[in-house]
Structure 1
Amino acid sequence: MGDFILTEHIPEKAVLVGVITQHQDELQAREYLDELAFLAETAGAETCGRFLQKIDVPNPKTFVGSGKIEEIKTFITEREIGLVIFDDELSPSQLRNVERILECKILDRSNLILDIFAKRARTSHAKTQVELAQYQYLLPRLTRMWTHLERQKGGIGMRGPGETQIETDRRIIQQKIALLKEKLKAIDKQMSIQRSNRGQLVRVALVGYTNVGKSTLMNLLSKSEVFAENKLFATLDTTVRKVVIDNLPFLLSDTVGFIRKLPTMLVESFKSTLDEVREADLLLHVVDISHPNFEEHYNIVNETLAEIDGTDKPTIVVFNKIDALRFFPKDEFDLEEDEDKVYSLDELKKMWVSRIEDKCVFISASKKENIDELRQITYEEVKKIFEVRYPYNNFLY
Structure 2
Amino acid sequence: MKVVLAYSGGLDTTVLLTWLQEKYDAEVICYCSNVGQEEELDGLEQKALKHGAVKCYVDDVQEEFAADYIYPIMQANAIYEGTYLLGTSIARPLIAKRMIDIANAEGAEAICHGATGKGNDQVRFELTAYALKPDIKVIAPWRMPADFPFEGRSDMIKYLEEKGIPTTVSASKPYSMDRNMLHISFEGGILEDPWNEPDENMWCMTKPLSQAADTPETIEVSFEKGIPVAVNGETLSPAALLKKLNAIGCEHGVGRIDIVENRFTGMKDRGVYETPGGTILHHAHRALESICMDRETMHLRDGFIPKYAELVYNGFWFAPEREMLQAAITKSQETVTGDVRVKLFKGGVHVCGRRSPYSLYSPKLVSFDEAGGYDQSDATGFIKLNALRLRVLATMKNG
TM-score range normalised by the length of the shorter chain: under 0.3
Q: Which has the larger radius of gyration?
A: 2
Q: Which has the higher contact order (CA 8 A, sep 6+)?
A: 2
Which TM-score applies when normalising by structure 2? 0.26
Which TM-score applies when normalising by structure 1? 0.26
